[in-house]
Chains A and B, each alone.
Chain A
Amino acid sequence: MTPEIGHFALALALAMALIQSVIPMIGASRRNLIWMRSARATSTGQLVLVGIAFAALMYSFFVSDFTVVNVAENSNSLQPMMFKLAATWGSHEGSLLLWIFILTVFGAGVAHFGSNIPDALKARTLSVQAWISVGFLSFLLFTSNPFDRVFPPPLDGSDLNPLLQDIGLVMHPPLLYFGYVGFSIVFSFAVAALIEGRVDTAWARWVRPWTLAAWISLTAGIALGSWWAYYELGWGGWWFWDPVENVSFMPWLLGTALLHSAIVTEKRAAFKSWTILLAILTFSLSLLGTFIVRSGLLTSVHAFAVDPERGFYILGLLAVSIGGSLALFAWRAPMMEPGGLFKPISREAGLLLNNMILATATGTVLFGTLYPLFFEALTGGEKISVGPPFFNAAFVPMMLPLVFAMALGPLLSWKRADLAGVFQRLKFVAVLSVLATLAIWYRMNGGPVLGYLSILLAFWLLFATVREWVGRIRLFEVPFTDAVRRARNLPRASHGMSMAHAGVAVVILGMVGSSVWKSEQILFAQPGTDVSIAGFEVEFRGVERVRGPNYVADRGTLDVSRNGERLTTLYPERRSYPVAQSTTTESAIRSTLAGDLYISIGQPALEEADDSGAWTLRILYEPWVNLIWIGACMLVIGGGLSLSDRRLRVGAPKRAAVSSDATVPAE
């Protein structure tokens, strides 16, 4: 019964979305307030109905109702409860339902919290949001119904993909989707503004908190995904330039550009059409991600079970939404009046550089990701793959000037800035960064020049950001209590920016350290073997077989010591899931700030696991790798600080926004 309720709720939600996609839009052009405000009720209704559907599906997983195909295919009675529930979004259908649920969350969010947005703009925005709902709800109902029944029901389910049975899966997709789909509302705002033909500083201010909320979730989602790949997949890396990673990274890059260009639109009324275009493209790239993951267009570890019919359906949705919005853009954008003027050296120019680099980087990642498809189409079937060497060679050098300029940007003033003065203030920072890099060089001795250059720039960014923050609160210039008072009075957005920029520097340090000074050994070892790696001595004690709820595992025991002192014992596992017929690697990690010692265990020489057999061991030392997650947390906290700024709060009085210019440091 429950699944039918869910199915029915979805159908009702579709009907409601259809109404919302028409009535408020017409109301806005006829200035009919009641029609415009109907969007509030319908978007709440959509949220409730899709919520009911989602809860119904989750309940089916909760009670392991194997008459539902989706449950039978993705769950198993032996699976721990947490993974039973998380399996709700482990399949194509369930994750699409989650996708739509988040879509309605954002729609209802704007309906309820956007009280300062003019009725017409709000009505149009919510109508556009409903168009997206209609597209995806019909996709779900007509091609991927999560509530399909099966008769006779199987005795037990075929288990969730074991790779997904991890705390990472429980959180990674919802966060990622919150980010992906969150950009939908920004897209709707942009399309509504194009329909209205007006973009002004107020528009940018209304859009910014939603952009920021989506960006924070996407950042957290990507970081969590990367962390999950790092310790769950047993690959000993945190980023692989896999197509599906790339499609989540592209909206992030462009979303970051959007966050910055929206500042210019808000403060200086410039970059209007560019900001609109970024808003459209960011969500388009999110849709592209949805398309690539679900159509089987490219090979990837992440792809869902593939069905060409679905591919055509989503491609149709893409053609309508992206094509339609870009056509609207081509028609309306030239009519927008240009904004405030600025000199080549100014904060505007700095943010323009930021946007150009981020957009180019996005284009590069997009090209690299789709190149195999282009190549295959143009050569008539020849296959190539584009891997990390391309991305590292094309992407990394592009980021270096961005990082360099990032340190300067916050110190530049609007309209016209004094670059010589900025460098003057950063002299000490430059010296300190060089010293810090030399210290690293002394300690690590050896490594590529590009690695040291990246480290130098990361220190430069870190110190310059701290310097800028210290300068703002006049720490060391005025008495300490005054400085604290200044820090408290500083807008939270400004603390947020410093935190996020410093986070980028920390992430870079982690990435460079773990890629450049990684040591790795793969060996075929008998119990009793000693291995030394990166100053650690590892003794392989043996392997035993252990039993989990829905798997059996071979668990290795390895003692780790350094300079004769016992540090810890690690237990990497190789699990086989008999129902799902697959195996996963549970690596064991000794994690410290200095680096991770990472051990995973592979195939035995013999199938019978007894103590005499030899096993494949993979031992890695990744220095500084945890800085990546720490830096990512700083990005998220920085975004959160900025979001909590009262000037951005949706209901904040407009007057408050004007005072922000006062926080720009005087020249």
Chain B
Amino acid sequence: MMRYIAFAPLMIAAIVGGFFLWGLNPDRDPNALPSVLISQPAPAFELAPLSTLDTPGLARNDLIGNDTPVVVNVFASWCVPCRAEHAVLTSLVERDGVRLFGINYKDKPEDASRWLNDLGNPYERIGADEVGRAGIEWGISGVPETFIVGGDGTVLFRYVGPVVGEEAEAEFRAALAQAGVIGEGA
């Protein structure tokens, strides 16, 4: 009897070890949160433009019927990483011709327009989400977040956090390429 019991710890350790081996699979990202929106239609929302800018507002209808997928970026002037991300997004718009829409999240219109005047405005449309209502609809967990929305209004991809740094940019470009917005290896 003792003979068999003495093997129990080894057996348990082997089973747990098997799970660990599975868990180390490089494709697995324990931090990735599954987004409920992926492959779902973009949520219904309608945002007025920033009162201090000429850029038009943003609503769900603007995301439907586009020829190519578009990028929706949630940003705010009070968000420090957004400042770094701004340069990346601007280059995507200017060099790769990506169509970029913005949701200005919980921001004052004056601050947002001053921020965009300072840094430049790469957004085709900006919806002012002063109370954060649209943010809830989109299920964002913080600012910035960036979505790729297909021509039919389906959410294809979600990136949480700033698209800054080699790895993040590569991942985002790969998603854009997969959506057909930019060429492979562009």
Partner-B contacts on A (CB < 8 A) = 273, 277, 280-281, 284, 291, 295-299, 308, 311-312, 315, 318-319, 322-323, 326-327, 329-331, 333-334, 370, 373-374, 376-377, 383, 576, 581, 603, 606-607
Contacts and interface: CB of A to CB of B under 8 A. Distances in A.
Interface residues of B, number: 29
A329 B6 contact: yes
Interface in B76-103: 77-78, 80-81, 84
28 contacts: A295-B20, A295-B24, A296-B30, A297-B23, A297-B24, A299-B31, A308-B26, A323-B17, A326-B9, A326-B10, A329-B6, A329-B9, A330-B10, A333-B2, A333-B6, A334-B2, A334-B3, A373-B19, A373-B20, A373-B23, A374-B19, A376-B28, A581-B80, A606-B108, A606-B111, A607-B77, A607-B78, A607-B111
Interface string B12-36: 0110110111111010101101100
Contacts, number: 75
A330 B19 contact: no
Q: Is the interface of B mostly helix, strand, loop or mixed?
A: helix
Contacts of B81: 581
Contacts of A576: 80
A319 B20 CA distance: 11
| B7, B20, B24, B81 pick with most chain A CB within 10 angstroms | B20
Nearest to A284: B13
Nearest to B78: A607
B125 to A, nearest CB: 24
Which one of A315, A318, A376, A607 has the greatest number of beta carbons of chain B within 10 Å? A607
Nearest to A338: B2
B109 to A, nearest CB: 13
Nearest to B1: A334
A606 B84 CA distance: 19
B22 A315 contact: no
Given A606-B111, A607-B77, A329 B20 contact: no
Contacts of A296: 30
B17 A315 contact: yes
B6 A318 contact: no
Contacts of B13: 284, 322-323, 326
A327 B20 contact: no
A297 B6 contact: no
Nearest to A378: B19
Contact of A383 (B19, B20, B23, B34): B34
Given A330-B10, A373-B23, 8 more contacts: A296-B30, A297-B30, A311-B24, A327-B10, A329-B9, A377-B22, A377-B23, A581-B84
A364 to B, nearest CB: 14
Contacts of A331: 6
A335 to B, nearest CB: 9
Nearest to B26: A308
B20 A315 contact: yes
B14 A281 contact: no
Nearest to A608: B111
Contacts of B77: 607
Given A297-B23, A308-B24, A277 B9 contact: yes
B26 A330 contact: no
A315 B6 contact: no
B140 to A, nearest CB: 16
Nearest to B32: A383
Contacts of B23: 295, 297, 373, 376-377
A297 B13 CA distance: 17
A603 B13 CA distance: 46
A603 B6 CA distance: 56
A451 B10 CA distance: 39
A296 B28 CA distance: 10
B16 A273 contact: no
A223 to B, nearest CB: 28
A273 B6 contact: yes
B24 A606 contact: no
Given A298-B30, A334-B6, A607-B78, A323 B14 contact: yes
A221 to B, nearest CB: 24
Contacts of B16: 370
B34 to A, nearest CB: 7
A606 B76 CA distance: 11
Nearest to A367: B16
A370 to B, nearest CB: 7
B174 to A, nearest CB: 19
A462 B116 CA distance: 64
